[in-house]
Amino acid sequence: MKYIAYKTIGFSFNTLPFTGHGSLSEILPNLLMVQSWTAFTDPLSFNYPSWSISIEFYLYVLLFLTLHLFGRYKVWSWLTIAVIVLGLMGNNSTLLQPYVFNGLSCFFGGAFTYVVFTKVKHISIPFIAGSVIEVALLSTVAYLVSNEIADRYIYATLLFYLVVLFFAFESGAISKLLNRSVFQALGKWSYSIYLTHAAILFMVTSVALVGQKVLGKAIAPMIEGARFIDLGSAFYNNVLVVSVLLLVILVSKTTYKYIELKGQALGKQVMGFK
């Protein structure tokens, strides 16, 4: 669509088609899901949220290898990988790409955290204590992601382990709230939401760019190198935010049903699973 618009009427959406994040050289790495693994590819090319799928796909392969290579010592191999990677991150190592470091530390540290939970899940945490812990953890998360501090990614990873561990007990008020059907549904659709939101934001921004050209008003300004949408008032901007959020959820509900679930079923059929 970008290419047709540029060739027919000379209209460009931020960048020229098949340049930058959408260059032709990035197509094959994305098809092979290696874009986040090398220094020669752009991890945020095309549908940029797929950087995580690039990491995760091959982490599943590595998990398979640990299961077969280390046998009964597999759990300790997961902890070892997480500790080594965190150490490399702390020393600003360039041995691997940043996204790979993040993926390895969170994935294998998360796997070890699951094993820890299976050993302590019998512990009963009182509702009030659980609520205080959950609020404290989420407050720490909010602080950490909102402030630039040294070694933030290391602290974020360690905090990730704690959040996963304590919320698995589902002992506090926030867990009780998140167990409601509306949040369960959003959780079910969450990966589709993650994958579709960037495309929808691009389309909304593209409409704003066209509107800006037609109306002659700066409703899609560039601010510090980033494209924003400004409809002229806080009220209309908030209406737009809510509308886009609802659109993302609606589209993701549809893609979950007709793409994600269908793809899972096809995968099981191909692999011979019932």
Percentages of the chain per state (helix, strand, coil), in multiples of 5: 75, 0, 25
Closest CA relative to residue 150, chosen from 94, 89, 106, 102: 89
Chain segment 87-125, per-residue pLDDT in tens: 999 899 989 998 999 999 999 999 999 999 999 999 999
> What residues contact residue 24 under an 8 Å CB cut-off, 6+ apart?
18
Contact status, residue 106 vs residue 157, Cβ threshold 8 Å: yes
Contact between 220 and 209 under an 8 Å Cβ cutoff? The reply is: yes
pLDDT at 151 over 90: no
| Closest-CA residue to 156 (of 89, 77, 60, 62) | 89
With a threshold of 0.85, does the pTM exceed it?
no
Number of H helices and E strands in the chain, helices first, is: 11, 2
Q: Which long-range contacts (CB under 8 A, 24 or more apart) does 62-67 make?
A: 63/107, 63/108, 63/111
- What phi, psi does 179 have (nearest 5°)? -80, -5
- pLDDT tops 80 at residue 12: no
Please tell me the predicted confidence (pLDDT) of residue 86: 94
- Summarize pLDDT for 192-228 with one digit per residue, the tens: 999 999 999 988 988 888 888 888 888 888 888 788 8
AA letter at 9: I
Query: What whole-number percentage of the chain has pLDDT above 90?
Result: 67
Is the model's pLDDT at 274 over the cut of 70?
no
> Measured on CA atoms in the order 3, 22, 258, 254, is the torsion positive or negative?
negative
pLDDT band at 273 (very low <50, low <70, confident <90, very high): confident
Contacts from 150-154 at CB under 8 Å and sequence distance 24+? 151/89, 151/90, 153/89, 153/101, 153/102, 154/86, 154/89, 154/90
